[in-house]
Structure 1
């Protein structure tokens, strides 16, 4: 369950300042590896802009799958992408490569069974060989950046639980199913902000319901789910989530281009250090994933 998971223990931070402290530390670590001052390094804001840009590319990449990817794969992919840049810098591990590695790893962890050969079919034919190399070369490095904490708890499951609970215990909720579409749209929107690093999946799920009906969620929380002070505190967190989702970072294409040019000029201290994992019919790290799943359970 979530409360005993690595997700909660290691990857839910107290506030946005703590998130930015981690990012600043990654920038400082990059400078230490190069043994040079960081006047020409990317700033935290540039880091956010470039990550946001690649999150949009990642989302479009996920939409290439037919049939569509389950939301659990989508959510896990984005959480991986956000987590790794609390442990390393975009200057050290380039996001244009890591989005694909995160997506492939999420498919495996969420048991969306797909081989590398089939996975790379979402790319143009000219890029497939290169993407295979990138995925196999960085897969073990990704798990290390994640501290081998691979299990991610999705708010979609919590949302479905709230729908059932509202229908069962809460009065005047006959039309609650009409809120599903807006709630699901909100769950897509949270992929592009830091909410997933700050709040529990159940709190995010309540915010998704709130986006569809503020009155329903307020009454449900204060009168049924958690009456009293606990409920008021929970409702305040839901409102904070809404504010964070609405506070969007602007990714102007010209600004992104300038950051990309700056990024290309910066050296990569890990260049040539990673080793490509051998392809096999049975991926060698599957047992590690199973052990980690058992631990989180």
Structure 2
């Protein structure tokens, strides 16, 4: 089986989300990568070094400077004539492209897989991760999104893949046009790749208190900063911080939940963390059911003391 993997990149480097998808694709067969964009020679060279990759298909075209799903999906559909499965990370970009590819191929998409049981059988979470479904498909072409936290990352070194270049001639005119983007610049580690995450909830009371308590602790730990949906909705933290079913799915080595009650929506995004530390004044908060270490008390006293001792 030949698999085609969509490479997430920023025009300069390959994003970590791609490495987990390579691991999943390798369980199905030969791994081929697709790097699309403008001026992507550096990205293609980096992708070719990923362990386990056989070929890297590149499409370097001005119309792909800001790859839109409407432009990319017909391109992927054409390449699928020579491939059996298309895999993309379950990121906002991957979840935008994959359904369109599935529609063009007239197949059912398999979303957010956690494991590969065979070449047509997979597991995926349902009911906000409270149950795991085993699904089997009879489609001859597979379109799959991969939950990155469920698979080990492939080594970014050690590969020597063949690079096959195309200029993308004949790319279809997209019905959408790139206008602009506002990308948050974070000094701290990105949530999906951070080894330690400190998250705050609505109990912090305000944006000022959120940053006054969470940021210093995160700086001491070299951690990424996250937030519950309630905290984001209340305006305490930007959308990029949201962890949960409708936010980012994370699985760091250490996850510190401060003032977070533990709603199902939030637990779905972080319960795969290796060690979960919870600080909450409510001893019956659901977060303590998944926490490895729980501390019941006033976060406004505990967190500054913890930060000071670190």
User: What TM-score do you get using the length of structure 1 for normalisation?
Assistant: 0.23
TM-score (norm 2): 0.22
Bigger proportion of residues as helix: 1
Give the number of the structure whose residues are more often strand, by fraction: 2
Q: Which structure ranks higher in relative contact order (CA pairs < 8 Å, sequence separation ≥ 6)?
A: 1
